[in-house]
Amino acid sequence: MINDVQPKSAIRIPHSALLYHLCPTAFGYAAILFETDPFLVNRIFLPHLRKSVLKKQIQRTGQAKPGHTPAVLKMCKDIRAYFEGASIKAPWRFLDLSRLTPLQRSVLRAVASVPHGEVRSYGQIAAQVGHPRAARFVGTTLARNPFPVLIPCHRIIRADGSPGGFYGGTGLKKRMILLEKGKS
């Protein structure tokens, strides 16, 4: 049994307004939810073809308003390039990891180390973080990954080679894996 307690820092008083920025991509509109002071990304929303659906998802997170900063525009450019086939690195210093436990953070770091165009199984990631029997924990952590694309949870599949779950649906997961392999 994994005993992974929520860090005390998860209880936060917001320091700045919550903003979002829509990023048009080849797969639809993605979005970045962020704070400005200090600049921290709270969440990345996977692409959707309709802005209205994406905006409804954003509204469920709180009172976010549209906005941008130079760092958000750069991140949006990187996300757009990703959906055109480029690799992308997680900008760790800008990701708000405060709501995650230490073990969840280690899972996300392990997933971020999977190279562009490659896949790993949930079990391989569990072993990499020192908990070889925790494949389900890895799956649960990835189901709640607040930074898809930046932390490529789509690269993690089941041991039998099937895609496994994905917040954006298995069709999008397969499409992203094929994009990375240059077979889009």
Active-site amino acid positions: 153
Give the count of beta carbons closer than 10 Å to the beta carbon of residue 144: 12
54-71 exposure pattern, b = at least 16 Cβ within 10 A, e = fewer: bbeebeeeeebeeebeeb
Torsions phi, psi for 109 (to 5 deg) = -65, -40
CB contact at 8 A, 183 and 159: no
Give the integer Cα–Cα distance in Å for 51 and 60: 14
